[in-house]
Copies of this chain bind each other. A is one copy, B any other.
Amino acid sequence: MKEWTMESAKQELMALQRKMAAYEHAIGLIYYDGTTGAPKETAENRGITLSILSEEVYRLGTSEETVALLEYLDAHKEELNEKEQRMVYLLLKDIREMQKIPMDEYIAYQELLVKADDVWHKAKEASDFEMFRPILEEIFATNKRFAGYIHPDMDPYNHCLNQFEEGLTKDTLDAFFGKLRDSIVPLLKKTQEKPQVDDSIRYGHFPEAKQEELSYYLMEKMGLDLGHVGLSTTEHPFTTSLGSHLDERITTHYFEDDFVCSMYSVIHEGGHALYDTGSARDLAFTVLDGGTAMSIHESQSRFYENIIGRSRAYCKYIFPKLQELFPEQMEGRTAEEFYLAVNKAEPSLIRTEADELTYSLHVMIRYELEKRVMAGELEVKDLPAEWNRLYKEYLGVDVPDDKHGLLQDSHWSGGMVGYFPSYALGNAYGAQFFAKMKETVDVDACIEKGDFSPVNDWNREHIWQYGSLYTPAQVLDRVLGEPFDAQYYIDYLTEKYSEVYGL
C-alpha cells in the first residue's frame, strides 16, 4: 500500500477532486449538448460515450487507491481544516454508497438515463405516455433497487429524499405539506371568489430575439457575470456548472405569445447561477463547489424569481425596459398592471408557469405520486390517471393530455425521484431568509433602484460563499439562528395575496 505524508495526501485529495471535476465537466457538457445543439438522432452516440466515461468515474471513485487515501485522511481528520474534513466526509459517503451498487448496474442506469431523456422528449412532443412508460418503470424500479443496496434499513422513498437533502423524511414532509395545504387552499379559494386580475399585458407577440435581449439584461442586472455564465435555449429550463462554478450555464424556453414565462425562468435559473458562482474561489474543482442541498438551491432561485422578481419594487424597476423592448405591447400599460399580472393566482396545468400561491400544490401532487410509487402503492402505468385525478382534486383543473400532465417535467426522466419537495421547501426557506435579510437590508428600496448588490452581498456572505461546506440544516441554523418555521412562508403568501386581491 502507498505511503502518504499529510502533505502528500492533501495534495492527492485536491488532485482527485480536480480529476472528478474534469469528468463531471465532460459528462455535464455532453448532457447539456444533448439538450441544446446536438442533432436529433445522436442520443445513442452520446449514450456510448457516457457509459464509458461513467465507468471511468466509477473506477476512479472506488479504486483501492482512492479509498485508501480517503481512509488515511479520515483517520487523521484532526489534522485537516474544516473544508478538508468536509471534502473527505462527502467523498467517503459517496464512495461507500457507490460501492454498494454493482458496477454493471450503475453503468446500465447511466445509459438508461440518456435514453430516457431522448424518449421523454419524443413522448412529450407526441403527448404519448405509453412511449415513456417502460422507461419510467425501469427508472422507479432502479431507484427502489439502489435504495435497497445503499440503505437497506431505510424506507426507499426516504432514501430518495436523502439524496437531495440529508435527513429529510416523508414524516417531516407530510407535516410540512399538510400545514401548507391547510393555509393555501382556503387562501386560494378566497382569491378565486374575488374579481380576477387582468393579465392580458403578458400576452401578444414578443419576438424571440427581443426576449433574448431581455434575458441578457435581466441576467446582467441581477448581478451575474456574463463572462462566466452562458444562456441557451432548451425544452425545459435548467442550470448546470461545467467543471467548476467558473463556467455556469442557464437555459430558458421562449414562447412568442407570452414573454413572462421565459422572463421568470431566466430569473429563476439566474438565482441558481448566482448561488453556484458565489462559491468562494478556492472551492472550485472540489466537491464543495456550488450549492449545498437542492432545497437551499431552490430557496435562492425561487427567492430571486418570486420574492424579488414578483415584488412591486422589481416590477416598477423593470417596466421601463419592457416598454423599450416591446413598445407596442406596453403602450398605455403601467408597472402596476404588470405587477398584478405576474401575481395572478389561478389554478393551472403547468408547474413551471404556476403563480406563487398555487405552485406548492403542483409540488404536493408530484410528492404524493412518487411517494406512493416508491412505496409500491401505485403502479407507474396508473400514474397519468392519478396525476389527472389529483389535479382535479387539488387545483380543480382538467388535464387535457399527458403533455400538459405527467410528461411536463424532466425530473423523473433524469432519474431525480425525491427532488420535487425541494421546490416547496426552498420557497419556505427563502421566505424565512427574506425575513432575516430585511432586519438589515432595505430590500424594496434597493430593488426599486435596480441595485442588487446589498441583497446579493447578504446572500453571498451568509449562504453562497460556503458552497457545500455546510449541510442544509447547518445553513438554516447559521443564517436564521432559530428553527425553520413554514409559518414565515405562509405569512408571506397571505400578506401578498390579501393585498393583490384585496381580501
Q: Residues of A at under 8 Å CB distance from B?
A: 18-19, 21-22, 25-27, 29-30, 33, 36-42, 44-46, 48-49, 52-53, 56, 225-230, 232, 242-244, 246-249, 285
Residue of A26, A41, A249 with highest tally of chain B CB at under 10 A? A26
Q: Please state if B22 and A52 are interface contacts (CB–CB under 8 Å).
A: yes
How distant is the Cα of A46 from the Cα of B243 in the complex, in angstroms?
8
A33-B29, A37-B36, A52-B22 known; A45+B243 contact, CB < 8 A:
yes
Q: Looking at chain A's contact residues, is the secondary structure mostly helix, strand, loop, or mixed?
A: mixed
How distant is the Cα of A247 from the Cα of B30 in the complex, in angstroms?
12
A22-B48, A29-B26, A48-B22 known; A228+B53 contact, CB < 8 A:
no
Which residues does chain B contribute within 8 Å of A228, judged by CB atoms? Answer: 39, 41-42
How distant is the Cα of A419 from the Cα of B480 in the complex, in angstroms?
62
Which residues does chain B contribute within 8 Å of A25, judged by CB atoms? Answer: 30, 45-46, 49
How distant is the Cα of A285 from the Cα of B246 in the complex, in angstroms?
32
A39-B230, A42-B246, A246-B44 known; A49+B33 contact, CB < 8 A:
no
Q: Please state if A229 and B52 are interface contacts (CB–CB under 8 Å).
A: no
Give min CB distance, A213 to chain B, whole Å. 15
How distant is the Cα of A232 from the Cα of B18 in the complex, in angstroms?
30
How distant is the Cα of A246 from the Cα of B39 in the complex, in angstroms?
10
Report 10 cross-chain contacts, Cβ distance below 8 Å, ordered by A residue.
A18-B52, A22-B53, A25-B49, A29-B30, A36-B37, A38-B230, A39-B228, A39-B249, A45-B242, A45-B243
Which residues does chain B contribute within 8 Å of A36, judged by CB atoms? Answer: 37
Which residues does chain B contribute within 8 Å of A40, judged by CB atoms? Answer: 226-227
How distant is the Cα of A147 from the Cα of B219 in the complex, in angstroms?
48
Q: In the complex, which residue of chain B has the Cβ closest to the Cβ of A229? A: B39
How distant is the Cα of A18 from the Cα of B53 in the complex, in angstroms?
11
Q: In the complex, which residue of chain B has the Cβ closest to the Cβ of A60? A: B56
Which residues does chain B contribute within 8 Å of A226, judged by CB atoms? Answer: 39-40
Which residues does chain B contribute within 8 Å of A26, judged by CB atoms? Answer: 26-27, 29-30, 49, 53
Q: In the complex, which residue of chain B has the Cβ closest to the Cβ of A209? A: B209
How distant is the Cα of A244 from the Cα of B44 in the complex, in angstroms?
11
Give min CB distance, A126 to chain B, whole Å. 17
Q: In the complex, which residue of chain B has the Cβ closest to the Cβ of A224? A: B39
Give min CB distance, A22 to chain B, whole Å. 4
Q: Please state if A247 and B37 are interface contacts (CB–CB under 8 Å).
A: no
Q: Please state if B48 and A247 are interface contacts (CB–CB under 8 Å).
A: no
Which residues does chain B contribute within 8 Å of A19, judged by CB atoms? Answer: 52
Which residues does chain B contribute within 8 Å of A230, judged by CB atoms? Answer: 37-39, 42
How distant is the Cα of A229 from the Cα of B227 in the complex, in angstroms?
29
Which residues does chain B contribute within 8 Å of A44, judged by CB atoms? Answer: 246
How distant is the Cα of A248 from the Cα of B37 in the complex, in angstroms?
11
Give min CB distance, A24 to chain B, whole Å. 9
How distant is the Cα of A33 from the Cα of B246 in the complex, in angstroms?
15
Give min CB distance, A242 to chain B, whole Å. 7
Closest 7 CB pairs of A and B: A41-B227, A26-B26, A22-B52, A42-B247, A45-B246, A25-B49, A22-B49
Which residues does chain B contribute within 8 Å of A247, judged by CB atoms? Answer: 38-39, 42, 45-46
How distant is the Cα of A336 from the Cα of B28 in the complex, in angstroms?
50
Q: In the complex, which residue of chain B has the Cβ closest to the Cβ of A39? A: B230
How distant is the Cα of A225 from the Cα of B27 in the complex, in angstroms?
25
Q: With A29-B33, A38-B247 given, name 6 new contacts (CB 8 A).
A: A18-B48, A25-B45, A29-B29, A36-B37, A41-B227, A49-B243
Q: Please state if A33 and B30 are interface contacts (CB–CB under 8 Å).
A: no
Give min CB distance, A16 to chain B, whole Å. 11
Give min CB distance, A66 to chain B, whole Å. 15
Q: Please state if B45 and A244 are interface contacts (CB–CB under 8 Å).
A: yes
Give min CB distance, A449 to chain B, whole Å. 27
How distant is the Cα of A348 from the Cα of B310 in the complex, in angstroms?
56
Give min CB distance, A40 to chain B, whole Å. 5
Q: In the complex, which residue of chain B has the Cβ closest to the Cβ of A226? A: B39
How distant is the Cα of A228 from the Cα of B249 in the complex, in angstroms?
24
How distant is the Cα of A49 from the Cα of B29 in the complex, in angstroms?
12
How distant is the Cα of A232 from the Cα of B33 in the complex, in angstroms?
12
